[in-house]
Every structure is written in C-alpha cells, then in structure tokens.
Amino acid sequence: MNKPVILTGIRSNEEPTLANYLGAFVPIVQMQKQYAGEYQINMFVPDLHSFTTPIDHQNLYQNTLNNLKYFIAAGLDLDNPDTFVYRQSHISAHSELTWILDCFTYVGEMGRMTQFKEKNGESSESVTMGLFNYPVLMAADILLYNATYVPVGEDQFQHLEITRDIATRFNNKFGEIFTVPLSTKEQTEFMKRDKGLRIRSLTDPTKKMSKSSDDDKSKILLVDAPDEAAKKIMSATTDSVGVVNFDWDAQPGITSLLQVLALLTDRSQEEVNAEWVGTTNYGDFKKAVADAVASFLEDFQARLRSIDDEALHEKLSVSESAMGEIANATLLRAQKAVGLRPRD
C-alpha cells in the first residue's frame, strides 16, 4: 500500500455546516473520483478533537457516526478499496504519538495559534489544555499515515504548517521518520484553487461560518430544513453598495454568496460572476442563492436517509484494523527514534 495519501477529518462537536461541506467534504469526494486507484484516501472523524471546547457528551458517539454518513451522502464511495474511514479514538496510536510530539513542540509556538488565541481571548479561565494541545494531536493524525495531501479550509492552514514544522524538526533530529505534508500553497494548487476556502458567516461576513457559533442565523447546517435555510440566505447581511460585485474587501457578504452559488451549482466563479456582477437587485440575487441552497439540501438529505448503516459499520471495522496497523508502524518508528523501543 504505497500510494500517496490524501487525508482529512471533520470534528463531531456540532452539526456540520455548508462551509464544512464545501471546505472539506466536497474536495475529498472530488479527489476520490478524480484519482481513484492512484491515491489512498483517509477520511476520519477526529472524535478526540471534538471536546476541546465544551459539548453535550450524550451526543458525541452518534454525532461521530453521523459525520461519516455525511461524507457518504456527499458522494464518498465506500466500495473504493483505497478509501479508509475511521474514528480517531479507535486507533490509540493517535494519542500515543501526540505525547511524543508534545515533547518536541514549544509552548510559544502553540500560543501563537490563531484559533487558540481567539478562544483564549474570549474566556481564558475555561480554556483547556486540550484546546492548547489540539494542533499537536492534529499533527499526529496526519503524520501517522504519511499523508502528503491534506485538503482543509483556510482556517486550518496554520495547523498544517505547524505539522510541517514539528515533522521537520523531528526528522532533523532523528532521521527520516515522518513524511512531511505539502505546504499550504502546494495543497491549494493540488485542490485546484487560487486560495484557501473561507466561507463567511451569514450575519457577519468578515468572519468565517463556524459550526460552533451560537448564532443559528449565521450558518447553514446540513440538517437544516431547506426552506429555513433559504430564509437564512434571504436575510444574510450584505451591504449598501447596491451593485453586485466580487470584492472580498468592500463587499464580503455578496462575494461570499457569489462563491457559494458557484460552488453549489458546480460552475466556475467566472461564469457565475458574468451572470450576476453589475446587477442591482440584491433580492433577485439572494433568491438564486437561496434556491440553490434549498435544492442542494433536499438532494443531500434524501441521500442521507438512504444510507445503509450496516455497510458503514463493515467499512469502519475493515478500515480501523488496516489503518491501526499503519499507524502502529509509524508510532514504532517514532518510539525507536526516541529510545522507547530498541533500535534495529
């Protein structure tokens, strides 16, 4: 099994949003279709990452399974023998490697992570060690499987870069133990994008759409009723310019909607812009986006209802066993390097 590895994950802390769908589900499904046979695809749910901020633990187990179903509803083909789906906590090497990497990661580096700084700024009393240490666990997720390609949204770029730093530092000290994933620039090229994807909040388009936001109107959930989702789009914050333009700085709300429309209707940004840029009726434009969102959700939710739970469980069991072996082999290399196991 020496194919290049594409790997990504989605936490099961909250219901995923349209931004998660466009930022992570769609790219991996497209890659599976495009590169079938040439690459190994690892799609996992980082369930240990899912309570770095408080959640309702009653729902965690089921939410983790639901996330996997969302991937299938998004088009991931379980029959593909090069595709593996698994849960992070079911492969204990993730936690074990994290500890080793922790001892080669500096507190100063972690303190500079934007996501940590933002949450720490909100309420430093309740910020946990888990949140602080989150990027190191993410580095373990990636390095255990020798992943080269890690399709993620722009908000995860900093974590990907720190993964490269940790891996390079470890390799410099101990020899070629880890595969260093590609830089975010190279990842973006691989995803055939000109920059990282950052779908905006519907109520404050200067911010990203976030599944952990308390403001229900700021996000479209994949389980939202299609007509409710359409209403959220119709009431999305835009601007008072009065002309549709693709301009992230001056009109981030309108621009984000143009982007969502292109991505959901599988058309190029140029094509969608040619249709709408210069028009002056925001209501008509929003209606087109609202219709696209509602029709996407209808199709997606119908696919979700038809998923065969048994097939998912079978795939999980095969994948967790196969990936456990690969993860343990990498872990052993790291254990030997640091002297926890005898060197050959």
* Residues in touch with ligand TYM (CB under 6 A): 7-11, 19-20, 23-24, 46, 49, 138, 141-142, 150, 152-153, 155-156, 159, 197-199, 208-209
Which CB, 45 or 244, lies closer to ligand TYM? 45
Nearer residue to ligand TYM within complex by CB, 137 or 297: 137
CB of 94 to ligand TYM, least distance (A): 9
**For residue 11, which amino acid is it?**
R
- Helices (runs of H) and strands (runs of E) counted in the chain: 14, 4
Rounded to the nearest whole angstrom, what is the least distance from the CB of residue 192 to ligand TYM in the complex?
16
Q: Closer CB to ligand TYM, residue 219 or residue 243?
A: 219
Catalytic annotation present for 211: yes
| 3-state percent breakdown (helix, strand, coil) of the chain, nearest 5 | 60, 5, 35
Identity of the residue, 229 or 280, whose beta carbon is nearer to ligand TYM in the bound complex: 229
Give the shortest CB-134-to-ligand TYM separation in angstroms.
7
The catalytic residue among 69, 117, 119, 232 is: 119
Within 13 Å and on the Cβ side, how many CA atoms surround 334?
28
* Residue 83, CA distances (Å) to 38, 170, 290, 315, 324 in order: 11, 28, 33, 9, 14
Is-catalytic flag, 117? no
- Among residues 3, 69, 211, 232, the one annotated as catalytic is 211
Catalytic residue among 208, 232, 286, 315: 208
Query: From the CB of 146, what's the least distance to ligand TYM, in Å?
Result: 13
Is the CA virtual torsion 212, 216, 219, 224 positive or negative? positive
Beta strand extents in 49-121 (DSSP E only): 83-87
Tokens of 207: 């911010």
| Angstrom distance (rounded) from CA 34 to CA 42 | 15
State the catalytic residues. Answer: 119, 208, 211
